[in-house]
């Protein structure tokens, strides 16, 4: 097509000689574009693999942080793998990475650094990565100090702003920065007794205060939907197997926005 278009343009501008020159230029442009696409696809594939490995070794490290991998943590990892609908080969690879991360001698820093390099400046991809780890850490209803420190270290290693991580915790309603002693114990008891079917606070899902204005809430909603758009995340390097997880997060944001609108009568 590039040769044809270039040849036609060249013929109109310079006759037969122009047609030959235009066809040659069209061919060069076509080769350049196709080469760029192959390079882009190769980079995206490398980013997807680094995300996949860094995620599961980090989940393994988090799960074994207290010395014991709980049934809840294993179940959470299983849920994520089930949502990803992994092939038998990829499932075994995910389990292998998870088990690697559990080993006390295994250093996840190199995998996180590789993910940082591959993902470059994609904050939305790094945010999604950290959200998955927060889901893992909070599966037992709390995030303790050691989990907090590890997630903060991971945050810094992948090049994500620490202040934005703290905002993410606030969005989830995780007040572990202030919880101490009896307050932490009471929070854990409430979390464990809470039914799994209890709906999430829509304001927390959107990361806004209940007193926020309509403009502030709408802005937060649009920003979150943009950050969690599955197609956009995949184009930045999210493994396609995680599309369902991204779709679910986007759906929860949409439901929270609809609930807030109903509560406010908008």
pLDDT in tens, 109-158: 999 999 999 887 788 889 889 988 888 887 766 778 888 899 999 999 99
SS3 180: coil
| Alpha helices by DSSP H, 64-122 | 71-84, 88-102, 109-119
Q: Is 110 left (phi over 0), alpha (psi -120 to 50) or beta?
A: alpha
Environment class of 51 (CB within 10 Å of its CB; exposed 0-12, middle 13-18, buried 19+): buried
The CA distance from 113 to 41, in Å, is 21
Which of 118, 131, 117 is CA-nearest to residue 80?
131
Q: Does the pLDDT of residue 198 top 90, yes or no? A: no
The CA distance from 169 to 143, in Å, is 10
Q: What is the pLDDT of residues 53-68, one digit of tens each?
A: 999 999 999 888 877 7
Asked whether the whole model's pTM tops 0.75, one would answer: no
The whole-number pLDDT of residue 199 equals: 47
The whole-number pLDDT of residue 101 equals: 92
CB-based contact 159:116 (threshold 8 Å): yes
Q: What is the pLDDT of residues 25-64, one digit of tens each?
A: 666 656 555 444 444 667 778 888 899 999 999 999 988 8
Task: For residues 171-198, give the mean pLDDT.
Answer: 41
């Amino acid at each position: 097509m590039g040769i044809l278009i270039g040849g036609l343009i060249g013929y109109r501008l310079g006759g037969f000689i122009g047609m030959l020159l235009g066809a040659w230029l069209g061919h060069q442009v076509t080769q350049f574009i196709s080469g760029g696409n192959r390079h882009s696809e190769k980079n995206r594939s490398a980013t997807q693999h680094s995300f996949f490995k860094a995620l599961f070794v980090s989940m393994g490290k988090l799960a074994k942080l207290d010395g014991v991998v709980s049934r809840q943590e294993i179940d959470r990892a299983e849920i994520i793998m089930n949502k990803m609908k992994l092939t038998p080969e990829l499932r075994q690879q995910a389990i292998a990475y998870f088990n690697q991360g559990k080993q006390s001698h295994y250093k996840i820093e190199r995998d996180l650094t590789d993910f940082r390099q591959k993902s470059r400046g994609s904050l939305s991809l790094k945010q999604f990565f950290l959200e998955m780890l927060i889901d893992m850490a909070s599966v037992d209803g709390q995030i303790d100090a050691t989990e907090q420190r590890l997630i903060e270290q991971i945050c810094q290693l992948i090049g994500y702003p620490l202040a934005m991580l703290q905002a993410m915790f606030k969005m989830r309603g995780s007040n572990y920065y202030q919880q101490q002693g009896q307050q932490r114990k009471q929070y854990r008891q409430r979390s464990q007794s809470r039914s799994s079917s209890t709906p999430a606070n829509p304001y927390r899902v959107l990361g806004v205060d209940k007193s926020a204005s309509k403009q502030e809430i709408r802005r937060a909603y649009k920003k979150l939907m943009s950050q969690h758009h599955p197609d956009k995340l995949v184009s930045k390097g999210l493994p396609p197997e995680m599309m369902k997880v991204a779709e679910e997060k986007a759906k929860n944001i949409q439901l929270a926005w609809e609930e807030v609108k109903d509560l406010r009568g908008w």
